[in-house]
Amino acid sequence: MAPRTRFAPSPTGFLHVGGVRTALYNWLVARQAQGAFILRIEDTDAARNREEWVEGIFDSMRWIGLDWDELYRQSERGALYVDAAAKLEASGLAYWCDCAREAVDARAAARKGPPGYDGFCRERGLGPGEGRALRFRPPDEGATIVPDVIRGAPSFDHATLDDPVIVRSSGDPMFVLANVVDDLDMRITHVIRGEEHLPTTPKYLLLWDALGGGEHPTFAHVPVLVNEKRQKLSKRRDPVALEQYRDEGYLPEVMLNYLALLGWSSPDGEEKLTVEDMLANFRIEDVGNSPAFFDVAKLRAFNGDAIRALSSDEFIARAAPWLEAPHAPWEPEAFDAVAFARLAPLVQERVFRLAEVTAMVDFVFLEEAPVDEGSWIKAMKPHASALLDAVIAAYEICPWEAEHLKAALIEAGEGLELKLKVAQAPVRVAVTGRTVGPPLFESLEVMGREGVLTRLRDARGRL
């Protein structure tokens, strides 16, 4: 049977890079064998779900290139969960419970045992009613083994399993039930998900068997992603939203490449991989079980290399969104595509993210130079007035080409016993507003004599 895999995000926030890595592994397993990749929105928690997060999931998946064959929303599948819960109750494998959280915690404290539910309502024979939840009853004895292609075959003693709620008192299904019911109904062959789900997998398998599921799917619990302090990535502390990386100008193919390497490596050791490379070489069995370091610095370097590998035309096309609203601070009519095309090769060699392009070229299209007081203070030393006077005089008459502009500045600096590095700082800040940017003299050439002289005179007047 061709593999059927699924990615099942909850729309409670932006799509997490760890989730995207999981989606990619599922996608690869399906695509390698002409199987089906299913996107399932787990939106049963109405209080936490938002439609904008659903659309964000769709947009992020499309942006990074992970297409899906089937789409489902759990909020539209309630009848299936009701039927499954009724089947479990009728077979004696589920019972109603009216224990409040406070009562469960109080009993645990009194017995000085581990936290969790103690089976208080197992034999009470309660029926459905207000404030009552339905719980699944695992076997009291024995153990469940979870065959996992990444983690071996961990065994879970049934005595350590509590009785999970499968239907809330509100009537809404819990994840543990809906997850199994959907995987059964969708004929999922491979459950590839984060290692945080491993402890709940025994309950998954017991529910699967209780619902007559037959052959179990293949399990692969992929390693957690950690930051530079080896802490699990946290959306409250770390940059984990795929949307953020998209908006910062990371290339989708670079994100996909980098995420693939978080837990897996190509057999030949190559790190720069195309989708075709991944499809040819990826094996879910080769994924490691150790935490994977999400190294933003390495990702940034990957992205910079990929930007420099683009053709000039492709770079200009990829940079286009950052040259217009809402990213560009200039008026739309001020943008000059020809001028940008002349600057593009210089910018392409220096940026690591496409979002950096805007600040590299804004001085050309803004009416006035951007104001950066720190750069001004750093560059406008006591010699700046005399230097700008000399440069203005030279630039009024010299040929307007980069090599002549450089020669004129060198001569002006030598007259004041200044090396080029020192002499060019006031000119760069006067014209561009910053101490760093694309090569100065090529930038001056593109901007034109009138614009450059206006900026130099304005800066001289400020001193």
Q: Annotated active-site positions, please?
A: 235
CA distance 133 to 416: 85
CA angle 124, 126, 127 (to 5 degrees): 160
- Taking the C-alpha atoms of residue 292 and residue 365, their distance in angstroms, rounded to an integer, is 43
How far is Cα 85 from Cα 303, in angstroms, rounded to an integer?
49
SS3 for 368?
Answer: coil
What's the CA gap between 204 and 181, in Å, rounded? Answer: 10
**What dihedral angle (degrees, nearest 10) is formed by the CA atoms of 375, 377, 380, 381?**
-130
Q: Which residues contact 112 (CB under 8 A, 6 or more apart)?
A: none
DSSP string, 321-367: GGGSTTT--S-GGG--HHHHHHHHHHHHTT-SSGGGHHHHHHHHHSS
Say how far apart CA 145 and CA 154 lie, in whole Å. Answer: 6
Burial 322-353, CB ≥16 within 10 A → b, else e: bbeeebbebeeeeebeeebeebbebbbebbbb
